Structure 1
Amino acid sequence: MTSRYNCSSADSWDCPQEGMCGNLTSDLNGSAGLVDACLTQEEYLEKYLGPLRSSVFLPICLTYLLIFLVGAFGNLLTCIVIARNKVMRTPTNYYLFSLAVSDLLVLLLGMPLELYEMWQNYPFLLGKGGCYFKTFLFETVCFASILNVTALSVERYIAVVHPLRAKYVVTPTHAKRVIMTVWGISVLCAVPNTSLHGIFTLQSAEGGTARKEIPESAICTLVKPRWMYNLTIQVTTLLFFMLPMLTISALYLLIGLQLKREKMLQVMEAETSRNSYCNIRSQQQKARRRQVTKMLFVLVVVFGICWAPFHTDRLMWSFIDEWTSIQLEVYKYVHVVSGVFFYLSSAVNPILYNLMSTRFREMFKEVMCHRPRHPVPRKQSLSVTRVTLRSILSEATPINGIAGLHEDKEHETTFP
């Protein structure tokens, strides 16, 4: 950037002398005040685009770096564990795998772009294509994350409340189809907001009719009418955050009621058949199912807490047209908090798996320590098979049906 005045000797206006600029209020070509012609290019860009570097860049950079290291390592580990171990390829874990991929995209591609913009707000060096990619990426992963969590909650609801349907719905094939649909919808719904953005550049404050664009002022921002952006943000927030979170809350309320009823029945059954092998086996299965549900419930709660500031940020920007100094101050903090929580949501899930799932914890240790898996001896394998067969025969009652067994077999190896 140069530090010379934005004045041209060929213009009809004369560049005023230093010290006289503060008294000038005339309008130049109907858009730029004559006072702008007195500013250096750095001052001119800062006046209309803000400071070149964010004032909170250093603390935010350190925070993002910590989140990046934890999140990238944890999500990559999650993907490796699910991909390498057949026992981990359950419908529930397929959704967790999709969520981990979404989080990795945010951390590996989205976070570096945002950090660069905080370090140097302008110019945006990736051009129009890079601007589209950045906006498209954030929109897609935003939609894919909430839809993955919603689909995961529906799967858990069916497995717990409607076990007879689980045989046909809670299957790996069905989970893969749902995940592909989720990503397809996310890509399509990311297009509208992406199309509203582009590269904007300021024009020089020179007089005359031939005003030039300043390449150093290029930024990736909204270039279409503001009302289109406002409508898009408000509709997508309603469809892809508020309604899904309400739906998820209702589903987990029903799941909680069902688990409470099952626990009461379990106490009654324990009193009548205390030494029954079938009763002990049933209690173990229900305990494992409660563990899965508890972990996923915590995941959803953390997800909602982390994403609420992000959508609050977007809604504030879309609803407020004339900003007061207080609103700007509040928005500044909301914007910083929303960014931290947005990326935190991409790093916290593997931590939850490690804390709340014994199987995930063991698999994580196995991958990190490079411990080989020891094959089960043949005799032991046959013994286990016979025990499993006896369990299936003894538990295939008209009440629970095969569906209940199918659901439990899928999850007992994943969350013991």
Structure 2
Amino acid sequence: MELNLFLRANETYDDFYNRCNNLTHFDCSEEEMLWWMMGSRRLPLIEIVPISIILVVIFLTGVIGNVCVCVVIVRNPGLHTATNYYLFSLAVSDLLLLLFGLPNDLSVYWHQYPYSLGLVFCKLRALISEAATYVSVLTISAFSLERYLAICHPLYLYAMAGLTRASRIILILWFISFLCAAPFAVYSEISYRDYPPNSGNMSLNSAFCALMAPSPLLELSSIFFFFVPAVLILCLYVTIALHIRSTKVTKKTKIGLLNGHVHGETKQARSRKAIIRMLVAVVVAFFVCWTPFHFQRLFYIYGYDLPQFHVINEHLFNVAGALYYVSATVNPILYNVMSAR
């Protein structure tokens, strides 16, 4: 709702702020106070319509893509491999992230408060969304480690290969993810504003599902479920790329090979280039999708005193939120469409 709708006769913007921000001579209606403290109930249409279209496209493509991954792997016994178990786990976690997170966030854009879905869903949504995020990151890390062993240490991978091992690792990743996400459910509450301020009388119209967590929780989440995995993934893929480059057959050697082998080496060279392209795409997608999300979290904690905090945080939240869900949509493309198998 625009501020002009709240201005009284001959009242300026400064007058409005003074009467709503002055606790000694507080003279604001409940609706005015909520606008002053929490903003409009709904974002302007010029912002919300394009955001909604983008999120709906992300939701549809992500759900369809990840469901297809699950169905293809389940229905084809030949695809029941350790690698595809990781992909199946990744697809399930991405589906949970999309189904429990995106529709709720989209509804908040259209109706920011009061929150009406109850405390149980507030906590459940926080638990599942956070856990699904952790599962995705840990699964990508485990998958990257598996790719590293397959390319750089194939004999070692063969010695430790097995579907049972992969299944156990995936179960452990899910257990760790839900265990570490549990505090987010514990600290997620439906918060209320007092009307008048500091009166002890809750304004039911101000209900909002929010994370009331102590500061270290968000920092620890970013460290252990973004920065550490990001460094690990980057190191693994750089090592893989260097290993592939080091094993290329030189042009001089190719000349001395038989014609049949020349074609084989050419095919192998194309395969190596395809692997490198996929590795680069995976690393770029990981950083592009997840960096804004964690940066926005940390900015919300440490950037509050900046003069343009609210403006920066709003735009950063919109960009980070979209890329956050793009990560669940792009995974089927990177790990399946780009793979010939």
- Give the structure-2-normalised TM-score: 0.85
Match for residue 137 of structure 1 among 128, 132, 149: 128
Say whether 1:60 aligns with 2:51.
yes
Cα separation, 2, equivalents of 1:352 and 1:257:
21
Counterpart for residue 258 of structure 2: 274
Counterpart for residue 9 of structure 1: none
Cα separation, 1, equivalents of 2:311 and 2:70:
40
Structure 1 residue 173: deviation in Å?
2.3
Structure 1 residue 168: deviation in Å?
2.8
2:142 aligned partner, one-letter code: A
Alignment of 1:327-342 (within 5 A): 327-342=309-324
Counterpart for residue 243 of structure 1: 228
Structure 1 residue 275: deviation in Å?
5.5
The Cα offsets for residues 371-406 of structure 1, whole Å up to 9 and x where unpaired, read as xxxxxxxxxxxxxxxxxxxxxxxxxxxxxxxxxxxx
Give unmatched runs, 5+ long, in structure 1.
1-17, 359-414
1:240 aligned partner, one-letter code: F
Alignment of 1:286-365 (within 5 A): 288=271, 291-292=274-275, 294-324=277-307, 326-353=308-335, 355-358=337-340
Asked if the contact 2:97–2:133 (Cα under 8 Å) also holds between the matched residues in 1, the reply is: no
Cα separation, 2, equivalents of 1:166 and 1:223:
44
Q: 1:243 to 1:347 in 2, by over 3 A?
A: same
Structure 1 residue 292: deviation in Å?
5.0
Counterpart for residue 178 of structure 1: 169
Counterpart for residue 40 of structure 1: 29
Cα separation, 1, equivalents of 2:196 and 2:190:
19
**Secondary structure of 1:347's match?**
helix
1:274 aligned partner, one-letter code: L
Counterpart for residue 150 of structure 2: 159
Cα separation, 2, equivalents of 1:310 and 1:59:
20
Structure 1 residue 157: deviation in Å?
0.7
Q: CA RMSD in A?
A: 3.1
The Cα offsets for residues 40-64 of structure 1, whole Å up to 9 and x where unpaired, read as 2211211222211123222211110
Cα separation, 1, equivalents of 2:333 and 2:312:
31
Q: 1:356 to 1:203 in 2, by over 3 A?
A: same
Asked if the contact 1:24–1:34 (Cα under 8 Å) also holds between the matched residues in 2, the reply is: no
Asked if the contact 1:159–1:170 (Cα under 8 Å) also holds between the matched residues in 2, the reply is: no
**Secondary structure of 2:189's match?**
strand
Alignment of 1:10-409 (within 5 A): 33-36=23-26, 38-55=27-44, 56-205=47-196, 211-224=200-213, 228=214, 230-264=215-249, 270-274=254-258, 288=271, 291-292=274-275, 294-324=277-307, 326-353=308-335, 355-358=337-340
Cα separation, 2, equivalents of 1:168 and 1:287:
28
**Secondary structure of 2:73's match?**
helix
The Cα offsets for residues 126-168 of structure 1, whole Å up to 9 and x where unpaired, read as 2221211121122111211111111011001111111111113
How many residues matched? 328
Asked if the contact 1:153–1:248 (Cα under 8 Å) also holds between the matched residues in 2, the reply is: yes
Counterpart for residue 5 of structure 2: none
Cα separation, 1, equivalents of 2:265 and 2:178:
43
Asked if the contact 1:123–1:218 (Cα under 8 Å) also holds between the matched residues in 2, the reply is: yes
Structure 1 residue 357: deviation in Å?
2.5
Cα separation, 2, equivalents of 1:173 and 1:23:
66
Q: 1:25 to 1:321 in 2, by over 3 A?
A: closer
**Secondary structure of 1:322's match?**
coil
Structure 1 residue 23: deviation in Å?
9.8
Which one has a bigger Cα radius of gyration? Answer: 1
Structure 1 residue 291: deviation in Å?
4.0
Q: 1:168 to 1:284 in 2, by over 3 A?
A: farther
Asked if the contact 1:104–1:346 (Cα under 8 Å) also holds between the matched residues in 2, the reply is: yes
The Cα offsets for residues 170-192 of structure 1, whole Å up to 9 and x where unpaired, read as 43222211111111111011122
Asked if the contact 1:202–1:214 (Cα under 8 Å) also holds between the matched residues in 2, the reply is: yes
Percent of paired sites with the same residue: 33
Deviates more, 1:43-52 or 1:181-190: 43-52
Asked if the contact 2:86–2:143 (Cα under 8 Å) also holds between the matched residues in 1, the reply is: yes
**Secondary structure of 1:33's match?**
coil
Counterpart for residue 401 of structure 1: none
- Give the structure-1-normalised TM-score: 0.71
Q: 1:192 to 1:114 in 2, by over 3 A?
A: same
1:251 aligned partner, one-letter code: L
Structure 1 residue 110: deviation in Å?
0.9
